[in-house]
Amino acid sequence: MIYNLIIAIILIIAFFMCISAYVLGFKHAKSLQKDIIPKVIPNPIKAIQEHKQDIEAKQEAEKIAQGWANILAFDGTPQKEEDE
């Protein structure tokens, strides 16, 4: 009984994988018809590394932008000295 259930689940998953592959192929064919090169999905490791690099670059750009904003907002008044 349990084997039949496992086989049924595997077949359902395989069916949905076939349908999704067909749909993806159809989308690629339609985009090629319109002279648009479809984007190739990279492997997961490269995708995660690229995402991390994008986040690091964005954070670095935000730091630089904040630094320039601080420089341009300086009006010449001395800063308060902190009591220790």
Residues 27 and 53 both lie in one domain: no
Is residue 44 very low, low, confident or very high in pLDDT (cuts 50, 70, 90)?
Answer: confident
CA-to-CA distance for 81 and 84, rounded, in angstroms? 9
Task: Indicate whether 55 belongs to any domain.
Answer: yes
Per the model's pLDDT, the better-predicted residue between 15 and 74 turns out to be 15
Tens digit of each residue's pLDDT (9 = 90 or more) over 7-30: 999 999 999 999 999 999 998 899
Are residues 24 and 54 located together in one domain of the fold? no
Domain residues for 23?
1-39
Q: What angle do CA 59, 63, 67 make, to 5 degrees?
A: 170
**Residue 53 counted as domain residue:** yes
Number of domains in the chain: 2
DSSP codes joined into one string, 12-40: HHHHHHHHHHHHHHHHHHHHHHTT-PPPP
Written as one letter, the residue type at 75 is: D
The answer to the question of residue 82 being in a domain is no
The pTM score is: 0.45
Same domain, 46 and 30: no
33 and 2, same domain (yes or no) = yes
